[in-house]
Structure 1
Amino acid sequence: MNLTDATWTDIRDLETDLAVVPVGSTEQHGPHAPLGTDVLTAEAVADAGLERFDDDVVRAPAIPVGIAEEHRQFPGTMWVSPETFRSYVREAVESLAAHGFDRVVIVNGHGGNVDAVREVGATVTRAGDAYAVPFTWFEAVGEHAAEMGHGGPLETALLRHCEPDLVREDRIDEASAGSAERWGEWVSHTNLAYDSAEFTDNGVVGDPSAGEKERGEELLELAADALARLLEAVAERDVSRPDRR
């Protein structure tokens, strides 16, 4: 059940302890894809995963601003500090737990959030407030994951499938021509770049022209199926903490 659409009495009467919190970012995704790409894709995967899951789940509103200062040179990008983001997500999870929804999957759509949402899950779980785990959709799409990039084939494909009106199709060639082949500038297994503008002129990494709508449909199927399996595992898991050795 979507919290945005529900009343408090609807939520009171639910018999579930399971919740999903989508998190993303508001940041540049090249000249062809919207700033809200990471939010839109996280929400699409969350909703598709819930459709495949048999039991009730509370679906929280998406958290739309994340850890994205690496895109600060591109207008429209918003960001908060890692500390602020971790606190916000943690407190959002804790508020759900206060109402009994204390098994939480954080559905993430932004690479810059990955470490932070894992830390949040560990913090709230070890404190005993809830059991929370992160799920990043583009890590759960099999062999496609190797081509993730940024505003590249995977995100473009998923947008073409889920939000086709938001993809600027007349800018795809421009996006491809100005893209970088990989994220960062690497020497001795070390990324020398801190900001994306250091290695990509237009903010794109990877070739968005390879992001066909049909591929987006496949990506959504893979990610949603993986999320449904995770929800099943979280719902059935013994979440009590191990005893001291």
Structure 2
Amino acid sequence: MSTHAPASPSPAATRPPLRLAEMTTIEAAAAVTASPVVILPAGAFEQHGPGMPLATDTIRAEGVAERVAAGLGGRVVIGPPVPVGVSPHHLAFAGTVTLTTTTLAAVIREYVESLYRHGWRKILVVTGHGGNNATLTTVAQDLLTTHPDLQFAWTPVTPLASDVVSGMGVSEVHGHSGEAETAQMLHLAPHLVHGDRLVPGTTATDQLDPLSRLARHGSHPALAVRYDRLSENGVLGDPRSATPADGEAIVDAVVARVTAFVKEWLDV
């Protein structure tokens, strides 16, 4: 069960989100049929600059999962969160805890195996942390072979609302702990944002060294670098310009797009 204060469901929600953690085993058995889609919120435990908490990515994933589940009338149940992800690129910053890709893959597979054993065949991972993406892709491919009757899907959060983010007037360099993530946190968990500590990080390409510029370029082979090389304070962008309204717009867009997918998925 999440240790964070639950985010308020959207006004359009018809009932509170169903959480597997709050059910008895009898209720869980019934939910296999009544709620055939399980959403697993996945995040990270890593630095988010001087102004936001280590659990930022998990909080955002949980916020989306809760709103999707609340809006689907009990047809979806929220499973156990995955609160630690793949974050070795943030280890130069205090408090960061990471799993290896192998460990995260094992955790996701074993969550899925347990749920599969009880009868669920549709599982969706909502990840607030981009560092989990490669592992989730690998797990999805492996499950096609090991569990051919299982339907496993995953989605990031912020990239689903890239059109909304681009309309926010973000910095040339933006992303981690920047405008979009800060806006989401101001909407979902404002009590955890230290507004007086929100400071810009790397905001322009000319602030990056040659290797970092190469790593940030998107039209050639991928290159991994540590975040302390990309930004002295771990921030990409200028979080000072973020607003709760922007955060609400991002979250609403993500929730609408995930919900539309799940509604169609329930019918196939």
Q: TM-score normalized by structure 1?
A: 0.89
For residue 98 of structure 2, what is the aligned residue in structure 1? Answer: 79
Q: Which moved more, 1:127-136 or 1:74-83?
A: 127-136
1:225 aligns with 2:256: yes
Provide the secondary structure at the position in 2 that maps to 1:156. Answer: helix
8 Å contact from structure 1 (residues 94, 124) kept in 2: no
The residue type paired with residue 257 of structure 2 is A
Distance across 2 between alignment mates of 1:21 and 1:193: 27
The residue type paired with residue 151 of structure 1 is S
Distance across 1 between alignment mates of 2:204 and 2:40: 32
Misfit runs of 4+, over 6 Å:
none
RMSD of aligned alpha carbons: 2.0
Residues 161-200 of structure 1 correspond to what in structure 2 (within 5 A)? 161-172=187-198, 175-176=199-200, 178-181=201-204, 185-187=212-214, 189=220, 194-200=225-231
Distance across 1 between alignment mates of 2:158 and 2:36: 26
8 Å contact from structure 2 (residues 41, 58) kept in 1: yes
1:156-211: CA deviation from partner (whole Å, max 9, x where unpaired): 00110110000001111xx21x3344697133845665200012010000111121
The residue type paired with residue 139 of structure 2 is V
For residue 12 of structure 1, what is the aligned residue in structure 2? Answer: 29
The residue type paired with residue 212 of structure 1 is T
For residue 235 of structure 1, what is the aligned residue in structure 2? Answer: 266
8 Å contact from structure 1 (residues 94, 130) kept in 2: no
1:136 counterpart (143, 156, 163): 156
Following superposition, the deviation at residue 53 of structure 1 comes to 1.8
Provide the secondary structure at the position in 2 that maps to 1:197. Answer: helix
Distance across 1 between alignment mates of 2:153 and 2:141: 8
8 Å contact from structure 2 (residues 40, 124) kept in 1: yes
The residue type paired with residue 185 of structure 1 is S
Q: Alpha carbons of 1:190 and 1:181: their partners in 2 closer, same or farther (altered >3 Å)?
A: farther
Q: Alpha carbons of 1:41 and 1:181: their partners in 2 closer, same or farther (altered >3 Å)?
A: farther
Distance across 1 between alignment mates of 2:85 and 2:103: 9
Residues 141-160 of structure 1 correspond to what in structure 2 (within 5 A)? 141-145=161-165, 149-160=175-186
For residue 125 of structure 2, what is the aligned residue in structure 1? Answer: 106
Provide the secondary structure at the position in 1 that maps to 2:154. Answer: strand
Provide the secondary structure at the position in 1 that maps to 2:92. Answer: coil
Please, which runs of 5 or more residues in structure 1 have no aligned partner? 238-245
Provide the secondary structure at the position in 1 that maps to 2:20. Answer: coil
Q: Alpha carbons of 1:55 and 1:3: their partners in 2 closer, same or farther (altered >3 Å)?
A: closer
8 Å contact from structure 2 (residues 69, 77) kept in 1: no
Distance across 2 between alignment mates of 1:72 and 1:92: 26
For residue 243 of structure 1, what is the aligned residue in structure 2? Answer: none
Distance across 2 between alignment mates of 1:36 and 1:73: 17
The residue type paired with residue 58 of structure 2 is V
Q: Which moved more, 1:191-200 or 1:57-66?
A: 191-200
The residue type paired with residue 237 of structure 2 is G
Q: TM-score normalized by structure 2?
A: 0.81
The residue type paired with residue 131 of structure 1 is Q
1:35 aligns with 2:35: no
8 Å contact from structure 2 (residues 123, 151) kept in 1: yes
Q: Which moved more, 1:27-36 or 1:137-146?
A: 137-146
Q: Which moved more, 1:101-110 or 1:55-64?
A: 55-64
8 Å contact from structure 2 (residues 212, 225) kept in 1: no
Provide the secondary structure at the position in 2 that maps to 1:62. Answer: coil
Identity %: 29
Provide the secondary structure at the position in 1 that maps to 2:54. Answer: coil
